[in-house]
Amino acid sequence: MALKSFKPVTSSTRELVLVDHSPLWKGRPHKKLVRGQSKNGGRNVHGHITAWHRGGGHKKLYRFIDFARSKIDIEAVVERIEYDPNRTSFIALIKYADGEFSYIIAPQKLAVGDKIVSSDKTDVKIGNCMKTINIPVGTVVHNVEFRLGKGAQFLRSAGTYGQIIGRDSGKVIVKLSSGEVRLISGECRATIGAVSNPDQKNVNIGKAGRSRWMGRRPVNRGSAMNPVDHPHGGGEGKTKSGRQPVTPWGKPTKGYKTRKKGKPSDRFILTRRKK
């Protein structure tokens, strides 16, 4: 997909850069694979705001994505490539030989009419899904499963991909986009290719209003508040807080490690993404 820039006829189009969606399907999504969503504005079940700066935004239908690719050895044909407002990547509607439809994450270079399959071992072809133990070393993959049968958990966002870099006694070594190297079971599945829409990282939304359409509300700096509202607040004129960056409740932020020590999955990380 190409990027689309605009002639600056207004101030909001001066910096606007979007992904060109003209090759995508223009109609409605497949009705049996969507449901409506109710918004919570960042509030939990008690009505308390637990995720700040959320609210409003355009209505969206949720598309059910088949991350498990559980229909084994049944060939499917790509019917169309669609935009999904719930994720950065594009999605593909596929039709299996038995007549069933399904949505999957669309990899790069997957085209309408292509035939794909999910199997224990199959051809190394864009869109095919198989057990990682049967994928040749050096192959680019996405939608990697971490827990057997749970479905893909890694490498699902736009433009991401991993690489099979080795095998070790029934386990497979995968290098992720972040640079992290992980050990996963050879029985877990992965899909061949890189995720679609790699130009997503170059998008410039152009104006604050577009952020509101996405459901993001304005974010205020702590240093612009009063001391009663934020630890960085107060002082005459523009001031620095005089302390390390913290949340409104005094907990460190900006690089503060929140991952718990002794997490069960720690033993599968061979190389951390941050040295």
- Check residue 255 and give its pLDDT: 84
Confirm whether 19 is domain-assigned: yes
Confirm whether 229 is domain-assigned: no
Weakest-pLDDT range from 116-130, 171-185, 232-246: 232-246
DSSP 36-62: E----TTB-TTS-B-S-SB------EE
- Check residue 275 and give its pLDDT: 63
**CA dist., res. 112 & res. 116, Å (int):** 11
Confirm whether 185 is domain-assigned: yes
Q: 92 vs 24, 85, 116, 151, CA distance in Å?
A: 10, 13, 11, 17
State which amino acid sits at residue 36.
G
Asked if pLDDT for residue 160 goes beyond 80, the answer is: yes
User: Can you read off the two tokens belonging to residue 147?
Assistant: 């827990």
**CA dist., res. 152 & res. 173, Å (int):** 16
Confirm whether 167 is domain-assigned: yes
Confirm whether 208 is domain-assigned: no
Q: Which residues contact 266 (CB under 8 A, 6 or more apart)?
A: none
Q: DSSP letter at 81? A: E
**CA dist., res. 91 & res. 110, Å (int):** 10
Query: How large is the C-alpha radius of gyration of the chain?
Result: 22
User: What is the per-residue pLDDT across 9-25, written as a single tens digit (0 to 9) for each?
Assistant: 999 999 999 999 999 99
Give the CA angle between residues 217, 218, 221 to the nearest 5°.
Answer: 140
Asked if pLDDT for residue 265 goes beyond 90, the answer is: no
Asked if pLDDT for residue 32 goes beyond 90, the answer is: yes
Number of domains in the chain: 1
Confirm whether 251 is domain-assigned: no
Confirm whether 207 is domain-assigned: no
Q: How far is CA 116 from the centre of its chain?
A: 22
What is the maximum span of the chain, computed from C-alpha positions, in angstroms? 71
What range defines the domain where residue 43 resides? 3-201
Confirm whether 38 is domain-assigned: yes
Confidence of residue 40 (pLDDT cuts 50, 70, 90): very high
Q: Tell me the pTM.
A: 0.90
Give the CATH number, domain containing residue 120.
2.40.50.140
